Amino acid sequence: MQYPEPIARLISSYMRLPGIGRKTAIRLAYFTVNMNKDDVKNFAQALIDVKDKLTYCSICGNLTETDPCEICKDPRRDRSKILVVEHPKDVMVMEKMKDYHGLYHVLHGVLSPMEGRGPQDLNIKSLLKRLQKNSKVNEVIIATNATPEGEATAMYLSKLIKPAGIKVTRLAHGLSAGSDIEYADEMTLYRAMKDRTQM
């Protein structure tokens, strides 16, 4: 017996999400069927709003409702430091720590020859332009994940930035090898920031 078409489409949609297999997708689809209609409408609207109301900051590449983003516009931020992260979610994780008050730059990935992702596929050109335009920047902190791809990206960026006379540092490995910034607790991030090393 086949699922009714609306449920089959919903199952298929849930299966497109990372980490959601067929069994979980079926469970979520039937959970959705039993949800209050208003809750389903709000859920659907939230999905639409994420696509319609968000854009990437033209300065740092972070997700934002306004361009430039709130962090780039904030005059209280320390403009001498730029923290480079892989993804927009990493900015939110670092902000939760409440100890970093500089600016950010989001790469939208890391170098990965195996996946065919080179420097041209990352938000690197705009970082270099920012550094050329803003003479106040005296430190770039590279906070890519402690994976082979993250390390390779950090080394690549360091080689590009150092000749400009800007100090390049890397988060200390309070973060365990192979871990993602997204899953680190605030204390681990705090130690990693405090013990960052020059590259």
Q: Is residue 71 predicted with pLDDT exceeding 80?
A: yes
CA separation for the pair 147, 183 (Å, rounded): 14
Q: What is residue 29's three-state secondary structure? A: helix
Which fold does the domain 60-198 belong to in CATH? Dna Topoisomerase Vi A Subunit; Chain: A, domain 2 (3.40.1360)
Q: What is the mean pLDDT of the chain?
A: 92
Place of tokens 């497109």: 16
The pLDDT tens digits of the residues spanning 81-129 come to 999 999 999 999 999 988 999 999 999 999 999 999 999 999 999 999 9
- Residue with more model confidence, 76 or 188: 76
pLDDT score of 156: 96
The pLDDT tens digits of the residues spanning 164-192 come to 999 999 987 666 666 777 777 776 777 67
Assign 41 a pLDDT band (cuts: 50, 70, 90).
Answer: very high
The model's pTM is 0.80
pLDDT score of 198: 76
Question: Which letter does DSSP use for residue 81 in this model?
Answer: E
CA separation for the pair 90, 86 (Å, rounded): 7
pLDDT score of 182: 79
Q: What is residue 64's three-state secondary structure? A: strand
Rounded average pLDDT over 67-87:
96
Rounded average pLDDT over 147-155:
91
CA separation for the pair 66, 26 (Å, rounded): 37
User: Domain 5-52, what architecture?
Assistant: Orthogonal Bundle (1.10)
- Following CA atoms 21, 6, 28, 19 in sequence, which dihedral angle do they give, to the nearest 10 degrees? 30
**Domain parsing of the chain, residue ranges:** 5-52, 60-198
Q: Is 107 exposed, middle or buried (0-12, 13-18, 19+ CB in 10 A)?
A: buried
Place of tokens 């209050």: 36
CA separation for the pair 25, 8 (Å, rounded): 10
13: amino acid identity, one letter: S
CA atoms within 13 A on the CB side of 183: 7
pLDDT score of 191: 67
pLDDT score of 172: 74
